[in-house]
Chain A
Amino acid sequence: MAGVEIRQIVKRFGDVEVIHGINLDIRDGEFVVFVGPSGCGKSTLLRMIAGLESTTGGDILIGDTRVNELPPRARDIAMVFQDYALYPHKSVFENMAFGLRLRKTPEADIQARVKEAAAILRIDHLLERKPRQLSGGQRQRVAMGRSIVRNPKCFLFDEPLSNLDAQLRNEMRTEIKKLHARLGKTIIYVTHDQVEAMTLADRIAVLSGGRVMQYATPDEIYHRPAAKFVAGFTGSPAMNFLRGTLAAGAERFDAGTVQIVLPKSLSSAARARVGQAVELGIRPEDIAIAGDLQNYATATVAASVVVLEPLGAETLVTLRIGEQEVVCRTRPDVSAQPGQTVEARLRLDKLHLFDATNGVALRS
């Protein structure tokens, strides 16, 4: 068992720097998810930890060992690949046993470990089959089984669910979470799916353009995003942003005719930015048009209903506030009609302010 420490990691491909000095500390037994859009460097970072990519600068430590110069096989890690990377000419059993055979593990031990892992993943009836005779979900289980049998210090998952259909993805997500609870090993997991990140992680590293935008618990990422990018990346639908300026000693947010008096905590954090352009962020569930959010302090603004999207358990209502549109999550029995003018209430304690130029959250 071991944690992973990433210190000032830099990666360059030719003249192009893709990772710009990342620092991350992953605790022993922790489940950490690297999330971000395509090209943010999350897979490259994972592959550097695995040893499949060299590092241009900085240090990677697994346990207490600096592993920069060690080949993948000497790092005591296991990796699950996006395309599973199962050996097509070997049976499921031999796929799982391959790593053990290379390490000259005694045959009885191999049999026991493969069978135990197969039982955990419920693939014990497939051991004689070849990968091409398996479904996508079964292949995924075999790929996980192959990493489990080796009993490594750390598991690396590179977008393991992205080739599965939606239902299977949900199922496997739960499986992976159970597996982590059972094994208690360090897992580093790469995905572009914020739902996977939120549901699986102990901590999430949100990456963008080769930098870590925020490294925190899912709860903190969601409720206290450090940057507009993080706020916009998490949650579905994403956070709403209203562009405007700070007025009256940063106590008021103005966006054209719309004026919102900010709570004390926000205005004191934004005092230095009076007169400057900012973006006000608020999540869809923190806006109400019906009788919701009665027990909270809210700011009320006039809005017109643009469109309703009933989802069954809830309805998403697009509202026009001034010149800008926001999405509001409401009860399914909401009586609003398109074109109707309503009063939108914005929860004051859930407002976020971001610098309009660099996207950094303004907070006390």
Chain B
Amino acid sequence: MKSWLDRLRDPSERTLGVILLSPAFALLALIVVYPIGKLFYNSFFDMRLSGGQGSKWIGWQNYADMIKDGAFWDATWNTVLITLITVPGALVVGLALALLANLPFKRQWPVRLALLLPWALPLAFAGLIWAWFFHTEYGFINDVWVRMGGEPRMWLLSPVSAFAAICIAIIWKSSSFMALILLAGLQMIPKSLYEAAEVDGASRWQQFWQITVPMLMPSIVVALIFRTITALQTFDIPYTMTKGGPGNATETLAMYIHKTTIDYLDVGFGSTLAVGMFVLSMILTAAYLRHISRQESA
């Protein structure tokens, strides 16, 4: 029997593979497996940093509390609603932008730059820009609104208009990314397909539905899934625009987790909420991976 030292000196292909992969495994374990494992572990404790009485094992109690917690369901509903509005919204706007950027402009770079700009901005910065847009006294929106004969409105202080303002800001910010993926997809479609369709008798509109959309479908699905996963994690824009207000009207799940953990220092319950969000994201990621593998096998 060879000792492990001998095997290390003269490794088989399999052993060599394990040796070469182990640094990557170790790094992944440190930055992915450990934090997630610790999150699950913490969720079974009553761990309030404000009380000073240390942590106490309470089993599934946090999960029972979460299910009974109205604020959790409100935040989840807000998150799902933001996802349902902004993902299709960003798809439509992104597709329009991608089609625009795909036109044969003489100079491509100004168009591409304009397309990329919202994507390149930090999320919090985008939130602040839009908070100013909707500002009651100094905002651009109220300025236009008043010029058109309306009364100045406190957009970010009414639940419905604050929610709408946040959705607009998110769509503005995220449609760049959509457009980028869709533009790459558009450029993969051979020009000769459009020429063939033109000779076959298809109008521009028919070409869009019969060639562009089906050929773009793989890119659309990828963009939608990516965007959905990030939409579920929405935090920065509502945080900078409304801080979740008025009341809890625009509070998302990520904000509720942040508030519970950082503001209230309730690490145990905060971890439980985070596990809930993690599971939601994993379900979508699994759906995404399944779609990819199905496409590869097709």
Report A's interface with B, CB cutoff 8 A: 50-52, 71-73, 77-79, 81-83, 85-89, 98-99, 102-103, 146, 150
Contacts and interface: CB of A to CB of B under 8 A. Distances in A.
Nearest to A52: B195
14 contacts: A52-B195, A52-B199, A72-B198, A73-B202, A81-B192, A85-B193, A87-B196, A87-B210, A87-B211, A89-B217, A98-B200, A98-B202, A102-B201, A102-B202
A75 to B, nearest CB: 8
Nearest to A150: B200
Contact of B196 (A51, A71, A79, A103): A79
A73 B192 contact: no
Contacts of A83: 190, 192
A85 B195 contact: yes
Q: Which 4 A-B pairs have the closest CB atoms?
A: A85-B196, A99-B200, A85-B192, A73-B201
Given A81-B195, A85-B196, A99 B201 contact: yes
Interface in B155-198: 190, 192-193, 195-198
Contacts of A79: 195-196, 199
A126 B168 CA distance: 49
A50 B199 contact: yes
Contacts of A103: 201
B212 to A, nearest CB: 11
Contacts of A98: 197, 200, 202, 210
B122 interface: no
B214 interface: yes
A103 B192 CA distance: 20
B200 A89 contact: no
Given A83-B190, A83-B192, A89 B198 contact: no
Tell which of B196, B201, B202, B211 has the most Cβ of chain A within 10 Å. Answer: B196
A78 B201 CA distance: 10
B199 A77 contact: yes
Contacts of B217: 89
B39 interface: no
A87 to B, nearest CB: 6
B206 interface: yes
Contacts of B197: 87, 98
A88 B190 CA distance: 11
B287 to A, nearest CB: 22
Interface in B118-135: none
A52 B199 CA distance: 8
Q: Name which of B195, B211, B215 has the most chain A CB atoms within 10 A of its CB.
A: B195
A30 B215 CA distance: 37
Contacts of B192: 81-83, 85
A102 B199 contact: no
A98 B206 CA distance: 11
B215 A89 contact: yes
Contact of A85 (B190, B202, B203): B190
A77 B195 CA distance: 12
Given A52-B199, A81-B195, A102-B200, 12 more contacts: A50-B199, A51-B199, A52-B198, A71-B198, A73-B200, A79-B195, A85-B190, A87-B197, A88-B215, A98-B210, A99-B201, A103-B201
A103 B190 CA distance: 24
B38 to A, nearest CB: 46
Contacts of B190: 83, 85
Nearest to A47: B195
Nearest to A74: B201
A67 to B, nearest CB: 13
Nearest to B191: A85
Contacts of B200: 73, 98-99, 102, 146, 150
A123 B125 CA distance: 60
Given A87-B211, A88-B215, A98-B210, A81 B196 contact: yes
A102 B206 contact: yes
B294 to A, nearest CB: 15
Interface in B231-260: none
Nearest to A88: B215
